[in-house]
Amino acid sequence: MTNDDEMDRLEQELRDYLRTHGDPWTVHLTERGRGVLDPWFKTWQGAGIIARIDTPEIARAVRAKGVPTVNVSGQELAPEFPAVIADGRDLARLAAEHLLERGFRHFAYCGDIRFAWAQDYARHFIAHLRAAGCACSEFESRPGDATNWKAERQRLIRWVEGLRKPAGVMVCYDVRGQHLLEICRQRGIAVPEEIAIIGQHNDELICAFCDPPLSSVMPDARRAGFESAALLARLLRGRRPPAAVIRVPPLGVITRQSTDVVAVEDRQLAAAVRFIRENACRGIGVPELLRAVPMARTAFERKFRAYFGSSPYEAILRARLQHARQLLSTTRLSVAEVAERTGFSSGEYLCVAFKKHGWPSPRRFRPVRGLEA
C-alpha cells in the first residue's frame, strides 16, 4: 500500500475479516514510515505475517521468520510469498480512458523510478494509449531524484513546458500530481485547459489541497485488506494460495477540477461530450444526443469515431458503466438500484454490460462485508 490512509483501510478490513470469520488471531500493528523495519520485529514470534515488503532489508527479515506471509507491496520483492496488490492494468486503463473521453490526443506519464509498481502503471498506461492510436511522453525519473528535489524540479519544469498541449497526464501517485500542479501554477500553465492531470490512490487530503483539486483513481484498499487476511488464513491452515498474485481492481475515477475539461476544438464534438457526461445515466441514446447536437447521424457518427475511436453509443455506455462502478463501490445500493440509477433496464443487464466491457461482476465492487476465504 502507499500511505497511512490506505493502510488504515486495509487494517479496518482485516478487523472485518476477523469479526466475520472468528479466527483467534492476536494482531500486532505498528505505525512507521514506508520501508522502515521496526527493531521489535527481530524478537517477534508469531504465526503469520501480512507485510509491505518494500525493501531488500524487509524481505530478508520476513524470510528469516519462516512463517506464512502475505505481501501487500507491488515492489516485486520476495516473489516466493503470495501477494495482494492493486491491479495495475485496470488502474492505468481507467486513467487512460478518463483522459481519452475528455478529448485529449496528446498524453504523458510522470512516474518514479524507485517503485516497480509505478513503472508497471506506466507500461499499461502507454500500452492502452498505443492501442487507441495515441503516443505518450514519459518523464525520465532518476534514482537520485528523491534526494535532490531542486534538480528534479528543474527537469520536471523543462519536461512539462515541452509537452505538446493540450495534454492529458497520468502521475504514478497523488503527491506526484501535487508536484506537477504546483509547477503548472508557477509557470502559468492552465490546468485543466492546457494540461489535465490524474493521480492514483485518491488520497483525499492531498487531492483536496491541490490547486486545482486533483482527480485520482481510487484503489480498493478495503478489499485488499480483506483478501490479504483471507489469504493468510488459508496459509495458516496449510492450504495453498489460489494464485501467486491476487490483483484487486480499483473502485473507479474520482473526478475533480484537474481533469474537468473537454479538450476538443470541434464545437459539435465538444458539445456532444458534455451532453454525454451530463445525461448518460438518464438512459439517453444516440437520437437524444443528435437532438442536442443537430447533425446528420451518419456524418456525426463518422466524425465522432474518427476523433474518439469509438461510436457515440459506446461512449454513452462507457459513461454509464463507470458511474455504476462508482455507485457499487461507494454506496449500499443494490445492484438493481444501481442499474436503475445508471440507465440500465435491470441488474441482469448491468451484469451483462460489465462482462462485455471486460470487467468483473458488479458484485466484485460491492463493499466487502462477509466475504469467504
pLDDT value at position 146? 77
pLDDT value at position 351? 93
* Percent helix / strand / coil, the chain, rounded to 5: 55, 10, 35
pLDDT value at position 10? 61
pLDDT value at position 42? 87
Domains with residue ranges and CATH for the chain = 4-86+221-250 (3.40.50.2300), 88-218+253-259 (3.40.50.2300), 267-358 (1.10.10.60)
Q: What is the pTM of this model?
A: 0.78
How far apart, in whole angstroms, are the C-alpha atoms of residue 269 and residue 262? 9
Burial class (CB in 10 A: 0-12, 13-18, 19+), 176: buried
DSSP structure class, residue 213: P
Q: Is the bond preceding 250 in cis, omega lying within 30 degrees of 0?
A: no
Confirm if 179 and 185 have CB atoms less than 8 A apart.
Answer: no
- The radius of gyration of the chain from alpha carbons, rounded to an integer in Å, stands at 22
Residue by residue, pLDDT tens for the chain (373 residues) are: 345 555 566 655 565 666 566 566 655 444 455 667 778 888 999 999 999 999 999 999 999 999 999 999 999 899 999 999 999 999 999 999 999 999 999 999 999 999 999 999 999 999 999 999 999 999 999 988 878 888 999 999 999 999 999 999 999 999 999 999 999 999 999 999 999 999 999 998 889 888 899 999 999 888 899 999 999 999 999 998 888 999 999 988 999 999 988 877 788 888 898 899 889 999 899 999 999 989 999 999 998 988 888 899 999 998 999 889 888 877 889 999 999 999 999 999 999 999 888 888 888 777 655 443 3
> In terms of Cα–Cα distance, which of 258, 335, 309 is closest to 105?
309
pLDDT value at position 15? 57
Q: Residue written as cell 497526464?
A: 169
pLDDT value at position 1? 38
pLDDT value at position 162? 97
pLDDT value at position 145? 83
At 356 the three-state DSSP class reads helix
pLDDT value at position 105? 92
Residues 6+ apart with CB under 8 A from 279: 288
Helices 312-330 and 297-308 cross at an angle (nearest 10°) of 60
pLDDT value at position 301? 92
Residues 6+ apart with CB under 8 A from 28: 44, 46
**Cell of residue 357, nine digits:** 466491457
Sheet holding 167-171, edge to edge: 136-138, 106-110, 167-171, 195-200, 215-218, 252-254
How far apart, in whole angstroms, are the C-alpha atoms of residue 160 and residue 211? 17
Residues 6+ apart with CB under 8 A from 120: 74, 88
